[in-house]
Amino acid sequence: MRRWPLYGGGLALLQAGLLAGCDRTPEVPAPPPATNVVAPVVATPAPQGPERLILAFGDSLYAGYGLDRGQSLPDVLQNRLRKDGINATIVNAGVSGDTSAAGRQRFAFALDNMKRKPDLILLGLGGNDVLRQISPAETRANMTAMMDEAKRRGIPVMLTGMMAPPNLGPEYSSQFNGIWTDLAKTYQATLYPFILDGVIGNAALMQADHVHPNRTGVDRITARVAPLVESALGRSQ
């Protein structure tokens, strides 16, 4: 691969952990140099068949914060897809600390530096917007701009959503949490509503910061996300 219910208790930990963890990594104010957009990572032999190229574009939850090389969500997802017989190559464009605004700034740049138009974009931002309690209207505008850019280029998108901790208040949570559902409906995008669903709040699946999944947590997320990715790739053919 190339590198590029009950949520209440877990989401409270999410906010606390974000304040203690993700904030250590600054935003990226400008597009990174091309060498940072696509960097080689651990690869597994690809099965036979046409290559399905995927751009994983997000923050630390994609970048693999706190994990060893080859253990990030895009790494593990690529391996899972290949085991399922899909000749997938995932370019990991996850940048720790990115808000939706920082992602919006580098989105077109990342796409321009792909070797060809990808078959699918995995788009996962929003956690750092919650950290900074950025207005949901601003987050929505940034995410909408990226969806518009993907639509203009004719690239399907799968969204991995984020949720606000309930202690930010019902008004903020309602406005923030609805962003991904609305975008998925407007752009006919595949949606996994909450990337940390089934993982956040479980100490056995999370790193010590209570925000980022450990290797086992990434495996849990991959098992849930992979079937949706496979379905999205099937529709993009």
Nearest to 211 by CA among 179, 148, 163, 172: 163
Residue 3, domain member (yes or no): no
Listed in sequence order, the residues at least 6 apart from 137 whose beta carbon sits closer than 8 Å to its beta carbon are: 175
pLDDT tens across 142-182, in order?
A: 999 999 999 999 999 999 999 999 999 999 999 999 999 99
pLDDT attached to residue 235:
73
Listed in sequence order, the residues at least 6 apart from 162 whose beta carbon sits closer than 8 Å to its beta carbon are: 124, 125, 126, 127, 129, 130, 176, 180, 194, 195
pLDDT tens across 187-213, in order?
A: 999 999 999 999 999 999 999 999 999
pLDDT tens across 58-71, in order?
A: 999 999 999 999 99
Residue 110, domain member (yes or no): yes
More confidently predicted of 80 and 18: 80
CA dist list (Å): 114 to 152, 170, 208: 16, 40, 34
59 given a catalytic annotation: no
Per annotation, catalytic residue among 59, 100, 209, 210: 209
> What average pLDDT does this structure show over 34-60?
70
Q: Residue 40 pLDDT > 90, yes or no?
A: no
212 given a catalytic annotation: yes
Q: How many domains does the chain have?
A: 1
Range of the domain at 94: 8-235
Q: How far apart are CA 30 and CA 7, in angstroms?
A: 34
Residue 1, domain member (yes or no): no
Q: How far apart are CA 24 and CA 21, in angstroms?
A: 6
Other CB atoms within 10 Å distance of the CB of residue 17: 20
Residue 213, domain member (yes or no): yes
Residue 48, domain member (yes or no): yes
pLDDT tens across 13-38, in order?
A: 555 554 444 444 444 344 444 434 44
Structural contact between residues 172 and 164, judged by C-beta atoms closer than 8 angstroms: yes
- Max alpha carbon distance in the chain (Å)? 50
E-strand ranges in the chain read: 52-58, 88-94, 120-124, 157-160, 190-192
Share the mean pLDDT of the chain. Answer: 87
Other CB atoms within 10 Å distance of the CB of residue 171: 9
210 given a catalytic annotation: no
Residue 137, domain member (yes or no): yes
Per annotation, catalytic residue among 59, 60, 100, 129: 60
CATH number of domain containing 179: 3.40.50.1110
Structure confidence at residue 1 as a pLDDT band (50, 70, 90)? low
Q: How far apart are CA 82 and CA 197, in angstroms?
A: 24
